[in-house]
A and B are shown apart, each in its own frame.
Chain A
């Protein structure tokens, strides 16, 4: 059963990558200015040379052929060359991925630590004032654009990971608080309380196992949020990661680079979501 689920997720990721790749290749191919080549404007070139240059790009006219050649090159690790930076896309990604991974991982860690601490204490204490304070805090953060939080982190000289944590926190907090509140109101928890079982035991034995799989799914979704938050944070904090690279590529209309980054990010978020889904299923299976 679990094997089939993993296989289904794997096939979905593969299909998404192929379809996403095709859509991206189509967009790159159809984008204005794709056919223009500065080399053809060189006055020193003869008409035969210009014709030869055009001939060399002829395989790019057919979208399917263009996609097939792109796939073939990608299979050999060649993701094309960045137009704006004149460097291989794979080299650029290799240089930038570690920083983004670190930033996203620390951001997620900080955010989830705050989410769990606040949501658990709110659900545990059931004090109106505390809950209201946490809700107001998350509600206010939710109303501030991610890019402004990134700018404020630069102004206050706080690490980029904290900015990412502040961007993800309000989105995760609301769901987590509601999930835990719902789990705490279940009849078996009330019965455990009536029997005098300690709060810590209720939390770890009766609440977390119920809310766990859904919290895991939320953790998968928050990876996607964190990767999205990396764009404004890296761009505005001057951090040389994949988010900043995507932003620079967008400003320079460097489509080959941008499309490769987008496909890569899609795969990462799909993997995170599928991983969370499979682990959640295993958890549910163990409980059953």
Chain B
């Protein structure tokens, strides 16, 4: 239980600090200090500057804000899509459920990263940085619903055959009212769980896309684009401050895992 509290505190702290980026780094993430390009950490630049002279601390703060605000947005979109496809399919049952699950299986049979880069490549790559942020997270949201849809289909299917739904049906409640009033409220715990599970998965996916150069476009920072800097390293001990985005990402994803895990799993 204590681990969960610590994880919650860490998440709140990271979100709070990233939201205060405008005050902590007022110069912004794109300002170049050309006389100090590639500088090591100093009083002016706590994490040094990147190879074109941008303050790394400011970029980490703004990047954290982008990743931490948009991953939940993508998770919300994917959960809603899963609820629509899986929930309705499970509730309707029969051929509807079979067809919806066949499409879901088709998506699930593709390795996640292959699917992401294929669909990302279908879209123009030379878009403005803001559009690239939206495209990246929209893509995650629109492709990440399949596993959740399976779970929701099974849950909605079992709810359809439950006693209280049968009783409601026998009382004359039909169609959309039965679905919205009696089925959807009981899907809420599963929807919430799927929403929280999706967030760390999307953070990691964005990081992978960013490192491969298919994520958020420059000069916008995100954890993925910040981690791309590691590509130029010759050894791990050479410039350890470049690992700060990685450490932050691991801490945040671990915190999410701890918040989501059951108490006995944490103990193990």
Contact = CB atoms under 8 A, between A and B. Distances in A.
Contacts, number: 124
Interface in A258-276: 258-259, 261-262, 265-266, 269-270, 273
A151 interface: yes
Contact of A146 (B113, B121, B124): B113
Contacts of A132: 268
Interface stretch (A49-57, A71-79, A220-228, A277-285): A220-228
A180 interface: no
Nearest to B232: A151
A270 B102 CA distance: 13
A266 B113 contact: no
A155 interface: yes
Contacts of B112: 228
Contact of B109 (A253, A254, A255, A269): A269
Given A145-B204, A147-B211, A231-B113, A259 B118 contact: yes
Interface string B187-208: 0000000000000100010011
A262 B115 contact: yes
B213 interface: yes
Given A139-B254, A227-B114, A247 B235 contact: no
A262 B114 contact: yes
Contacts of B257: 139, 142-143
Given A20-B106, A227-B114, A250 B121 contact: yes
Given A20-B106, A131-B268, A227-B111, A251 B125 contact: yes
Nearest to A134: B268
A115 interface: no
A27 to B, nearest CB: 5
A16 B105 CA distance: 9
B109 A147 contact: no
Interface in A139-180: 139-140, 142-148, 151-152, 155-156
Nearest to A142: B257
Contacts of A254: 121
Contacts of B161: none
Contacts of B244: none
Interface class of chain A by DSSP: helix
B118 A228 contact: no
A256 to B, nearest CB: 11
A257 B238 CA distance: 39
B212 to A, nearest CB: 6
A118 to B, nearest CB: 13
Please tell me the size bucket of the interface on B. Answer: 35 or more
Contacts of A32: 123-124
A65 B183 CA distance: 44
Contact of B230 (A148, A253, A261): A148
Interface stretch (B77-85, B131-139, B167-175, B245-253): B245-253
Given A140-B250, A258-B121, A147 B208 contact: yes
B117 interface: yes
A155 B214 contact: no
A228 B109 contact: no
A89 interface: no
Contact of A232 (B109, B113, B234): B113
A108 interface: no
A8 to B, nearest CB: 13
30 contacts: A16-B105, A19-B106, A128-B268, A142-B257, A143-B250, A143-B254, A145-B207, A145-B211, A145-B227, A146-B204, A148-B211, A148-B230, A151-B233, A155-B230, A156-B236, A225-B111, A228-B112, A228-B114, A231-B113, A231-B114, A232-B208, A232-B211, A246-B114, A246-B118, A250-B117, A251-B125, A254-B121, A258-B117, A258-B118, A262-B118
Interface of A: 16, 19-20, 27, 31-32, 128, 131-132, 135, 139-140, 142-148, 151-152, 155-156, 224-225, 227-229, 231-232, 235-236, 246-247, 249-251, 253-255, 258-259, 261-262, 265-266, 269-270, 273
Q: Which 4 A-B pairs have the closest CB atoms?
A: A228-B111, A147-B211, A250-B121, A143-B253
